[in-house]
């Protein structure tokens, strides 16, 4: 447990923006963390998920005590949310909601400028604010509702870029999941393998869960996951731009 506690602390540190760490260290102040729009939300979502899943495991009597449930929840949820990929138990054997929520977390929980994968928390915040703005527009069509991150208004070009990124991200997940399913992989393994690969998380669920590895996949399925890892690590647009014919024209 002591080793796990140290690992959890550093996984959380790695999930925050390293520019924020630098400013905090150079200024010898914790204020940059309070002013960082991602840091607070990252900690809130991750710690809230740890507690929520611990309660969920305790209610389903997966572990004898709540403290033990909290221990395994903390390590595995933080590991998957920060796309570190460690596991100290086969969480695929937990009631299905828990590993499914963990897989969802790895898609967005970490901050921009961190070591984590996924679309990053800042994009998730912008997408949420855009959805909320559209709801307000439906009720008040003539009102002006700028999207703000901290004290800054998000410019339209940034908003459009985030929306496009989110759309392409979902298209990549769906299309690659369909490819793996077409190749004979059952749907839970196919979906989790793609999500784990495109977010560079490590373990998925089903046949690629934490108690096994990706060796069970065929060559074709491995190449699909390889493409997903490249897309995720290069932030999708970087690789897609290189693959477009217009990029190679003089």
Residue 82 contacts residue 12 (beta carbons within 8 Å): yes
User: Could you tell me if residue 110 is left (phi over 0), alpha (psi between -120 and 50 degrees) or otherwise beta?
Assistant: beta
The gap from C-alpha 239 to its chain's centroid, in whole angstroms, comes to 20
Q: What pTM value is reported for the model?
A: 0.89
* pLDDT for res 16: 94
* pLDDT for res 94: 94
Q: Would you state the torsion angle of the CA atoms of residues 78, 79, 84, 90, taken in this order, to the nearest 10 degrees?
A: -160
CA pair distance 216, 207, nearest whole angstrom: 7
* pLDDT for res 195: 95
CA pair distance 154, 212, nearest whole angstrom: 43
Residue 10 contacts residue 82 (beta carbons within 8 Å): no
To the nearest 5 percent, what fractions of the chain are helix, strand and coil? 70, 0, 30
pLDDT digits (tens, 9 = 90+) for 153-186: 888 888 898 999 999 999 999 999 999 999 999 9
* pLDDT for res 7: 96
Sign of the dihedral through C-alpha 61, 67, 70, 75: negative
CA pair distance 80, 204, nearest whole angstrom: 9
Sign of the dihedral through C-alpha 147, 165, 228, 185: positive
CA pair distance 201, 198, nearest whole angstrom: 8
* pLDDT for res 236: 81
Instruction: Give me the residues of the chain with pLDDT under 50, please.
Output: none
Query: What are residue 149's phi and psi, to 5 degrees?
Result: -115, 110
* pLDDT for res 249: 79
* pLDDT for res 248: 81
């Amino acid at each position: 447990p002591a080793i796990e506690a140290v690992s959890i602390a550093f996984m959380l540190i790695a999930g925050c923006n390293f520019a924020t760490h630098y400013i905090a260290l150079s200024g010898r102040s914790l204020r940059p963390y309070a002013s960082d729009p991602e840091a607070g939300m990252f900690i809130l979502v991750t710690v809230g998920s740890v507690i929520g899943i611990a309660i969920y495991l305790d209610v389903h009597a997966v572990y004898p005590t709540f403290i033990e449930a909290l221990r395994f929840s903390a390590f595995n949820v933080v590991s998957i949310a920060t796309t570190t990929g460690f596991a100290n138990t086969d969480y695929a054997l937990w009631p299905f909601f828990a590993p499914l929520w963990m897989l969802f977390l790895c898609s967005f929980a970490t901050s921009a400028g961190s070591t984590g994968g996924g679309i990053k928390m800042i994009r998730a915040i912008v997408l949420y604010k855009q959805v909320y703005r559209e709801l307000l527009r439906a009720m008040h069509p003539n009102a002006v509702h700028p999207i703000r991150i901290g004290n800054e208004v998000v410019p339209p070009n940034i908003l459009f870029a985030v929306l496009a990124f989110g759309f392409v991200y979902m298209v990549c997940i769906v299309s690659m999941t369909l490819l793996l399913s077409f190749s004979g992989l059952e749907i839970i393994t196919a979906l989790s393998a793609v999500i784990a690969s495109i977010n560079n998380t490590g373990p998925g669920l089903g046949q690629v869960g934490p108690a096994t590895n990706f060796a069970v996949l065929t060559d074709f399925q491995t190449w699909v996951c390889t493409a997903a890892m490249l897309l995720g690590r290069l932030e999708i647009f970087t690789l897609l731009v290189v693959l477009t014919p217009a990029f190679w024209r003089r």
